[in-house]
A and B are shown apart, each in its own frame.
Chain A
Amino acid sequence: MKKKLWDPVFGGVMIGIAIILTFYISGRGLGASGALTAFAATIQNWILPSVTQSSEYFSKYFANGANPLNDYLVFLVIGVMIGSFIAGIVSKDMKLEVLKGPNISNKGRLWYALVGGVLVGYAARMARGCTSGQALVGGAELSVGAWAFMFSIFAGGFAVAYFIRRQWI
């Protein structure tokens, strides 16, 4: 039996405290998308170095022998993996499975996951961050752009929800 989830207000306060700690200790916010993009750039630089080096966006990741994986956000994301893994074990929610609504096949769900991932990967770079690094952190900093980003996320999600309802409900 899975353990009951935290109350959402308690969960929000805990995430808020994690953000305050990065503010106070490091003078910046946390984030998740930056580490994933650094990882993607590193893999591409390993397989197709010429493509990476000729990209105006990625070449600066490796300028002067820099290693994009030696980055604050990469270490933070390693922590996220450890923390979620521990939580998965203590709450008995460690299982190889595909989560989806009742009206779609596993294969169908995984295609949606892939397409959604590509869209979010592209959009996180366009918006200079994601739900954590831009919406939560920027929201707390009172950034106008971050609040506009967050309302746009909900607008985009609500706009498309009806057309993909087969997947979820």
Chain B
Amino acid sequence: MIGPLVKNGIISGGVNTLFAVLIGILFGYALQRSGFTNSKKIAAAFYMKDVDVPVVMFTAIITASIGLWGLSLLGLIDLGKFYFLPSYLLPMVVGGFIFGIGMAVGGFCPGTSIASMVTGKIDAMVFVGGFLLGSLLFGDLYPLWDKFYNSDSNGVWRIDQLFNINVGLAVLLVTLLGVFGSIGMRKLQYKFWGKND
């Protein structure tokens, strides 16, 4: 079966929605079991006190990247029917910086706050309330930043295109960055703080 299954008519839209719920269950289960429902653990990453969060993130990216490009290499997914995220470089850099400040202050990102909220964490419930207000602020006052939001549009822009290299080599580079980044951060954690609490 060649993916994407729903776009190739192999499964219906309804079955696709059912899969969305099932994949969400796997994602939510993995977030909780990785400790991502604990705001203290997430914030600890910004002090290098517990680097599990970036290690999980790097591992997830490497796994998904090898999966996506491996499926394509094997002819098991038609990338012509795949939706690639577009790059708007400057809004993403500025948005990312504010996002990082909010994550250190609030102790969550959107997915982790949802996962944490349902396990009874009150700080997560308040964070989600703040998130709803923040996204309304963006949308209701949109004319104030719509020019910036739509600036620096680069379309689908990938690392292999940026460096003019083969996709396989780009996946290898990202993998090496993730592996050595994880090991390096873990070494810094042990040097300054020791093992996880």
Q: Which residues of A contact B (CB under 8 A)?
A: 5-6, 8-9, 11-33, 36-37, 39-41, 43-44, 51, 55-58, 72-73, 75-88, 91, 93-101, 106, 109-110, 112-132, 134-161, 164-165, 167-169
Contacts and interface: CB of A to CB of B under 8 A. Distances in A.
Contact of A80 (B11, B25, B103): B25
B139 A41 contact: yes
Main secondary structure of the interface of A (DSSP, over half): helix
B176 interface: no
Given A23-B67, A51-B140, A126-B145, A36 B132 contact: yes
Contacts of A134: 85, 92
A81 B21 CA distance: 10
Nearest to B33: A6
Nearest to B161: A144
B49 A17 contact: no
B2 to A, nearest CB: 9
Interface of B: 3-7, 11, 16-17, 19-35, 37-40, 43-47, 49, 52, 54-65, 67-68, 71, 76-77, 81-89, 91-124, 126-140, 142-143, 145-146, 149, 154, 156-162, 167, 170-171, 174
A147 to B, nearest CB: 7
Given A25-B3, A120-B106, A149-B93, 11 more contacts: A36-B128, A40-B132, A84-B115, A88-B32, A116-B104, A120-B99, A122-B102, A131-B109, A142-B159, A146-B92, A155-B100
